[in-house]
Amino acid sequence: MRIRSPKDFWAGLIFVAIGAAFIALASQYRLGTMHRMGPAMFPMLVGALLAVLGAIIALRSFVLDGESVPRFYARPIGVSLLAIVLFGVALQWLGLVAAVAVLVLVGAWAAREVRPLETVALAAVMIVFSVAVFVWLLGLPLPLWPDM
Amino acid sequence: METLSNLAFGLGVALSWQNVVYCFIGCFLGTLVGVLPGIGPVATVAMLLPFTFGLGPAPALIMLAGIYYGAQYGGSTTAILVNIPGESSSVVTTLDGHQMARRGRAGPALGIAAIGSFVAGCIATLVVAFFAPPLAEIALKFGPADYFSLMVFGLIAAVVLARGSLMKAIAMVCFGILLGLVGTDVNSGVIRFAFGLPELADGVGFVALAMAFFGITDVVLNLEHKDKQEVFTSRIGSVLPTMEDLRISFWSIVRGTGFGSLLGILPGGGALLASFAAYMIEKKVAKPPRSFGEGDIRGVAAPESANNAGAQTSFIPMLTLGIPSNPTMALMIGALMIQGIAPGPQVMTERPELFWGLIASMWIGNLMLLVLNLPLVGLWIKLLAVPYRLLFPAIFVFCCIGVYTVDNKIFDIYEIAVLSGVGYVLLKLDCEPAPMVLGFILGPMMEENLRRTMMISFGDLSVFFTRPISAAFLIAAVALLAVIALPALRAKREEAMQE
Contacts for B469 with CB less than 8 Å, ≥ 6 apart: B141, B142, B143, B146, B149, B150
Nearest by CB to A57, which of B171, B177, B459?
Answer: B171
pLDDT digits (tens, 9 = 90+) for B4-41: 888 888 888 888 888 899 999 999 999 888 888 777 78
Q: What percent of chain A has pLDDT over 90?
A: 61
Bigger pLDDT: A17 or A113?
A: A17
Cβ within 8 Å, pair B447-A134: no
Average pLDDT for A73-83: 93
pLDDT category at B61 given cuts 50, 70, 90 is: confident
Nearest residue on chain B to A38, alpha-carbon basis: B188
Q: Are A127 and B401 in contact (CB under 8 A)?
A: no
Cβ within 8 Å, pair B388-A88: no
The separation between the first and the last C-alpha atoms of chain B, rounded to the nearest angstrom, is 43
Contacts of A123 in chain B (CB under 8 A): 393
Nearest by CB to B397, which of A39, A92, A126?
Answer: A126
B235 has a pLDDT exceeding 80: no
Residue B271 has what pLDDT? 65
pLDDT category at B148 given cuts 50, 70, 90 is: very high
Residue B454 has what pLDDT? 92
Contacts of A120 in chain B (CB under 8 A): none
- CA atoms of B457 and B326, how far apart (whole Å): 32
Residue B268 has what pLDDT? 62
Average pLDDT for B473-487: 82
Contacts of B220 in chain A (CB under 8 A): 76-77, 80, 110
Average pLDDT for B219-238: 69
Cβ within 8 Å, pair B174-A141: no
Number of domains in chain B: 1
Tell me how many residue pairs between chain A and chain B have CB atoms under 8 A apart.
191
Contacts of A54 in chain B (CB under 8 A): 171
C-alpha distances out from residue B372 to B11, B51, B91, B115, B490, Å: 20, 20, 23, 12, 42
pLDDT digits (tens, 9 = 90+) for A88-97: 999 999 999 9
Nearest by CB to B390, which of A33, A96, A122?
Answer: A122
Average pLDDT for B348-356: 85
B173 has a pLDDT exceeding 80: yes
Q: Which amino acid is it at B288?
A: P
Nearest by CB to A53, which of B50, B170, B220?
Answer: B170
CA distance A145 to chain B (A): 15
Nearest by CB to B220, which of A80, A126, A141?
Answer: A80
Range in A21-35, A37-51, B77-91 with the lowest mean pLDDT: B77-91
Taking only residues 53 to 72 of chain A, the set having a beta carbon closer than 8 angstroms to any beta carbon of chain B reads 53-54, 56-57, 60, 67, 69-70, 72
pLDDT digits (tens, 9 = 90+) for B291-307: 777 778 888 888 889 88
Nearest residue on chain B to A106, alpha-carbon basis: B393
Query: Residue A101: how many CB atoms within 10 A of its CB?
Result: 18
CA distance B447 to chain A (A): 6
The ipTM (two decimal places) reads 0.94
Nearest residue on chain B to A122, alpha-carbon basis: B390
Cβ within 8 Å, pair A39-B190: yes
Task: Give the range of the structural domain holding residue B399, as residue numbers without chain letter.
Answer: 2-227+236-498
pLDDT category at A83 given cuts 50, 70, 90 is: very high
Cβ within 8 Å, pair B178-A10: no
Could you tell me if A141 lies within 8 Å of chain B, comparing CB atoms? yes
DSSP state of A35: S
Q: What percent of chain B has pLDDT over 70?
A: 91
Nearest by CB to A50, which of B175, B392, B428?
Answer: B175
A46 has a pLDDT exceeding 90: yes
Angle at B150 between CA B154 and CA B328, to 5 degrees: 40
Nearest by CB to B185, which of A22, A39, A108?
Answer: A39
Mean pLDDT of chain A: 91
Q: Are A101 and A83 in contact (CB under 8 A)?
A: no
- CA atoms of A9 and A11, how far apart (whole Å): 6
pLDDT category at B420 given cuts 50, 70, 90 is: very high
For residue B80, give the nearest of B230, B284, B234, B254 by alpha carbon. Answer: B230
pLDDT category at A137 given cuts 50, 70, 90 is: confident
CA distance A117 to chain B (A): 12
B498 has a pLDDT exceeding 60: no
Residue among B156, B173, B404, B446 with most chain A CBs within 10 A, to mutate: B404
Cβ within 8 Å, pair A72-B447: no
Contacts of A53 in chain B (CB under 8 A): 167, 170-171, 174
Mean pLDDT of chain B: 83
- CA atoms of B350 and B327, how far apart (whole Å): 25
Contacts of A140 in chain B (CB under 8 A): 50, 53, 401, 405
